[in-house]
Amino acid sequence: MLPSVSVSQSPEDKFREYLASRSRPQRFTDQQRDMVNYIFSKHNHFDADQLIDEMKDESLQVSRATIYRTLGKLVDAGLLRRLEIGSRTYYEHDYGYPQHDHLFCERCRKMIEFQHPLMDQVQREIGDQHHFQVQGHSFVIRGICNECSRAMSTKRRLDLV
């Protein structure tokens, strides 16, 4: 896990401010508060269905519709980042977390975060080359993690016996 970045507001306060500043201000509900606090109480990559199941396991009552609507608002507010991988949409912290990239295991769906200084350099060079003002990027390398690779090779050896 990468170290967090210092921020001036809590995620709850930042989201509350976002809702109040919209062209049609929206109220901050108890379900949204529970959801924001739950999501930011830990750092993981998740999809909407995983979040629904986890919150239900924690006895937090948030409707499916509220979760889907609020996830979109959290992305718009700059609190979460959306990652489209294949047919699934994953979410992760954006607020209070440094820019980074991912390795994604096609087998177990584990996401490994990494940072590399060359990624920033390449991003700047490509932006300059195309006269493009880069605001960020999303880079996902797909493959098989070490644990899955070992499990596959062990299974292959056992199949030969």
Tell me the residue range of the domain where 130 lies: 99-161
- Does 59 lie in the same domain as 39? yes
Can you list the alpha helix ranges (DSSP code H) found in the chain?
A: 11-21, 30-39, 48-57, 64-76, 117-129, 146-160
- Does 143 lie in the same domain as 79? no
> What does the pLDDT look like over 33-78, one tens digit per residue?
999 999 999 989 999 999 999 999 999 999 999 999 999 999 999 9
- The C-alpha torsion from 27 through 33 and 35 to 40, rounded to 10°, is 120
Mean pLDDT value across the chain: 92
- Does 117 lie in the same domain as 89? no
Looking at residue 160, what is its pLDDT?
61
- Does 75 lie in the same domain as 11? yes
> What does the pLDDT look like over 84-122, one tens digit per residue?
998 899 999 999 998 899 999 999 999 999 999 999 899
Predicted TM-score (pTM) of this structure: 0.84
Looking at residue 3, what is its pLDDT?
80
Inter-residue contact 152 to 145 (CB < 8 Å): no
CATH number of domain containing 117? 3.30.1490.190
- Does 85 lie in the same domain as 114? no
- Does 131 lie in the same domain as 76? no
- Does 73 lie in the same domain as 53? yes
> Which one of 51, 75, 97 terminates a domain?
97
Looking at residue 43, what is its pLDDT?
87
Instruction: Give 136's pLDDT tier (boundaries 50, 70, 90).
Output: confident
- Does 104 lie in the same domain as 92? no
**What is the percent of the chain where pLDDT is above 90?**
79
- Does 77 lie in the same domain as 15? yes
- Does 89 lie in the same domain as 25? yes
